[in-house]
Structure 1
Amino acid sequence: MPYPGRGHINPMMNLCKILASRKDQIAITFVVTEEWLGLLSFDPKPANVRFATVPNVVPSEIGRGADFPGFVEAAMTKLQEPFEQLLDRLEPPKPSVIVYDMFLAWVVGVGNRRNIPVASFWTMSASVLALYHHFDLVVQNGQFPADVSERGNELVEYIPGIPPTRIADLPTIFYGDGLKVLHRALEAVSLVPKAQYLLLTSVYELEAHTIDSLRKTIPIPLYSIGPAIPYFKLEDNDNDNNYVQWLNSQPKSSVLYISQGSFLSISKAQMDEIIAGVKNSGVRFLWVARGEASQIKEACGGEGVVVPWCDQLKVLCHPSIGGFWTHCGWNSTKEGVFGGVPFLTYPIVVDQIPNSKIIVDDWKIGWKVRKGMGEEVHLVTREEIAGLVQRFMDLESEEGKEMRRRAKELREVSRKATSKGGSADTDIDAFIRDISQSFNH
């Protein structure tokens, strides 16, 4: 049962495909809202995965971008009843486990009442989970609520398993508009110990300290199942896409891949500066854009290709890609690491902010584009962007070489974790074994 948003549905579907490929006897019912069934129906899925639907939580014309807090509230309150009705209608045998998105906290009660084990599925980084899990420490230390414009550079340095972090690098849910949904997120995290399993969509080696500390404080089995991105599809040969053919004709590491995510956008003034800055940099690019596509094509002419969609992981693993401009959603972050490319980060909201900090400060595989946080976002000018992009894509600079070397190192860590006998591979097998055993008892 995923939360009805792209960044939540994709990793859960990837987990289902991995589980389904491990054992033919695993039958999976993937529950989505009607709106999402329409969007997912063209995506090929294994024979032992089937869809079931519940009604949309809000009319799709309102859209989740228009009223984000309202959408979160609806997902956390309106889905329970139709989900329970669906459980009653399912053909026997009853499910041996319900894997649910942690934000849909009501599932824990449903499973416990019906005597069905539940596995809490976390779609963000382990570090962000630790920040929510130890939120009481932020309150005790008098750093909540904080005015980010005044205290943004103050350090939070007492969260177990987390390196010192500026207040400005905490998830935006801790200040401003985000406070409207904070109580829901904290409630969801507080119910995790009442679940039977916890699944983290992270590579253990990339967040080892954090995951180890979570294991000490959360009293249920925790599995670090790897990035939950479609790495198992990389061998599929579908090179008939025009953008792939274009990439094939470009020099090695010469193309900047740009994607600002699928959901929340930046101001028109900032978008205009980004478009002009990328154009003035003279760097080749592949840009995924919806609304601004024609403006980008018009402005940037022949230096690059603009597409409404692409197979992002395949693109990031392509040898001609030399960097990734991203909003730092956790799925995109993991795909960039798996592709072994350095990052230019322009985070917008929630966990994208701490993800950018992890990329730039902890892993040292990227640079920040965005300046300021909360209400204090400063316009980054086209001149700054052009200069930054040129320096970033310069393969000869010493700082660039070091960043690329680190990115390749983390790529190897990710690929080893997901290959046979790696940490993610082992934890997925352990999860299957544990749910099978509990079911057999």
Structure 2
Amino acid sequence: MNNDHQKPHAIVIPYPLQGHVIPSVHLALKLETKGFVITFVNTQSIHQQITKSQPNHSDTFGDDIFTDSRKSGLDIRYVVVNDGFPLGFDRSLNHDQYFEGVLHVMSAHADELVGETIKTNPPPTCLIADTFFVWSSMISNKYNLVNVSFWTEPALVFTLYYHVDLLRKNGHVGSLDTYFIYNREDTIDYIPGIGAIEPKDLMSYLQASDTTTVVHRIIFKAFKDVKNADFIICNTIQELEPQTISALHEKHPTYAIGPIFPTGFTKSVVATSLWSESDCTRWLDTKPPGSVLYVSLGSYAHVSKNTIVEIAQRLLLSGVSFIWVLRPGSINSDETDVLLVGFEEEVKETGLMVPWCCQIEVISHPTVGGFLTHCGWNSILESVWCTVPLICLPLLTDQFTNRKLVVDNWKIGVNVCDNKQIKAEEVAETIHCLMNGKLGDELRKNIEVVKNKLENALSTDGSSQVSLEKFISDVKIKTQEKCASAMCQQLNSSANHG
């Protein structure tokens, strides 16, 4: 008997954004080492962008990001799927139009791809799709696959979205059919598994007056669909969000299996970056330990020229050394010269400006002592692992809620974004105190506690390892149940036609 037929085979489909692709790649690698065959699916656009970002890339479209992994014997197949738009279409510039396509068109291409994958050996047994996809249950049911929803953000954010109808009922979130209503501003204290939370700490989409945008429609539809999932896996750990995860598990089988990092927390052997990475190591090696502030606002958000100018002013006033990642296309403007006149000349000894870099390599360098961040979840987990305290400047989506965890719950970072108005002198003083004073010492002490929880969770008998093994076991049981059910249906159909 071919042992391949006994192996679980997972189709893994990340949402087509950098912050979702990275943990999905490392989830795929982790599951393969646990005995899974993996078919990993990128959109053609994401694949092309990753390929072009690599040094000495070829212009052929056939590069496979898992080639090096397979050399070590890993059984990971790699395919690309059309997202509904031609490769030349500017998805960043035409954000809303693009996501209308992700909402309405991409499902047909994903359906076709899964249908083709069913014919491979061994055939797939489960679909692991990002929670934000709205079609997971439809495709899973069609092909009799175990339906696994992969959540790349904290369980707190998942739970708030999961209970959006309850938030609407209580007037804290606007109706899908209503423009520009005023949401309640009092404390929210009725969501299962969540203590009191202020409306300002909700995700930006739940704070919005207009909840009819394409992103809102995706979120609301996705969180209806996720209630049909067989299992939910989260890139978090039980010890960080115990009540939230336990409450979720009562409604749905939920497994906290994070933090999902590359093996050894080193630069991944699988290319995941959408932009070419600058090597900052030589510059960092010239600086004293803990003296450099890393500044990055992530891979997704667009910011105004004014925000960039304000950050530059704060860095100048603080007097600290810094690496600043200014991503290509991140400015909401056609202007190319967005920095203060003379800024780069003034900071040429203390500052390094780069378009993109390998974040893990930078923040794990001993000279980095702080991180001015947008509060993306990957960035928070990576910073904790490197015991780098955070200066929080959330911009949109889950980042405001992540900030609450960082600043209020775990006390491993500081706010510089209350009321969306920041005085330059105050922020500069905060940066200086974090890098050179008692504030930084206190935050690092707290961050060591959180890091220990992450390390313990990933140990042999740790909560995340136990959850992962339980998840794998439950997937195998569910697969057998689905196969048995399908066989019974076939027998009944044959008998009825006999």
TM-score by structure 1 length? 0.89
- 1:381 is displaced (CA, Å) by 4.2
Partner of 1:11: 23
Equivalent of 1:37, from 31, 47, 55?
Answer: 47
Mean Cα deviation higher: 221-230 or 141-150: 141-150
Equivalent of 1:21, from 33, 36, 41?
Answer: 33
Q: AA paired with 2:69?
A: P
Q: AA paired with 2:31?
A: L
Cα 1:64–1:359, aligned 2, differ >3 Å: closer, same or farther?
farther
Q: AA paired with 1:162?
A: I
Q: AA paired with 1:10?
A: I
Equivalent of 1:89, from 116, 122, 128?
Answer: 116
Q: AA paired with 2:216?
A: L
Partner of 2:284: 247
- Whether the 8 Å contact between 1:341 and 1:408 is mirrored in structure 2 is no
- 1:62 is displaced (CA, Å) by 5.1
Return the alpha-carbon distance in structure 2 between the equivalents of residues 66 and 201 of structure 1. Answer: 29
- 1:81 is displaced (CA, Å) by 1.3
Cα 1:35–1:273, aligned 2, differ >3 Å: closer, same or farther?
same
- Whether the 8 Å contact between 2:267 and 2:361 is mirrored in structure 1 is no
- 1:297 is displaced (CA, Å) by 3.3
Equivalent of 2:427, from 379, 382, 385?
Answer: 385
Return the alpha-carbon distance in structure 2 between the equivalents of residues 426 and 111 of structure 1. Answer: 26
For each residue in 1:199-221, what CA deviation from the matched residue of structure 2 results, as whole angstroms up to 9, or x when unmatched?
11112211111101111122xx2
Partner of 1:286: 323
- Whether the 8 Å contact between 2:174 and 2:209 is mirrored in structure 1 is no
**Are residues 1:355 and 2:382 paired?**
no
- Whether the 8 Å contact between 1:156 and 1:167 is mirrored in structure 2 is yes
- 1:302 is displaced (CA, Å) by 1.0
Equivalent of 1:121, from 146, 150, 173?
Answer: 150
For each residue in 1:342-381, what CA deviation from the matched residue of structure 2 results, as whole angstroms up to 9, or x when unmatched?
1111111111111111111111111112232xxxx43x34
Q: AA paired with 2:218?
A: R
In the alignment, structure 1 segments of 5+ residues that lack a partner are none
Q: AA paired with 2:373?
A: T
Partner of 2:441: 401
- Whether the 8 Å contact between 2:14 and 2:129 is mirrored in structure 1 is yes
Q: AA paired with 2:237?
A: V
**Are residues 1:79 and 2:106 paired?**
yes
Larger Rg: 2
Percent identity over the alignment is 31
Q: AA paired with 1:54?
A: V
Cα 1:49–1:126, aligned 2, differ >3 Å: closer, same or farther?
same
Partner of 1:433: 473
- Whether the 8 Å contact between 1:126 and 1:200 is mirrored in structure 2 is yes
Q: AA paired with 1:209?
A: Q
TM-score by structure 2 length? 0.79
- 1:323 is displaced (CA, Å) by 1.0
- Whether the 8 Å contact between 2:181 and 2:210 is mirrored in structure 1 is no
For each residue in 1:182-208, what CA deviation from the matched residue of structure 2 results, as whole angstroms up to 9, or x when unmatched?
233122122223221111111221111
Cα 1:361–1:349, aligned 2, differ >3 Å: closer, same or farther?
same
Cα 1:235–1:112, aligned 2, differ >3 Å: closer, same or farther?
closer
Cα 1:76–1:222, aligned 2, differ >3 Å: closer, same or farther?
same
**Are residues 1:197 and 2:231 paired?**
yes
For each residue in 1:89-132, what CA deviation from the matched residue of structure 2 results, as whole angstroms up to 9, or x when unmatched?
23243201110011112121111122111111111210011101
Instruction: Please list every run of at least 4 consecutive aligned residues from structure 1 whose deviation after the TM superposition is greater than 6 angstroms.
Output: 146-152
Return the alpha-carbon distance in structure 2 between the equivalents of residues 102 and 242 of structure 1. Answer: 33
Partner of 1:167: 199
For the aligned residue pairs, the C-alpha RMSD in angstroms reads 2.7
Cα 1:271–1:61, aligned 2, differ >3 Å: closer, same or farther?
farther
SS at match of 2:299: coil
Cα 1:241–1:249, aligned 2, differ >3 Å: closer, same or farther?
farther
Partner of 1:136: 165
Q: AA paired with 2:428?
A: A
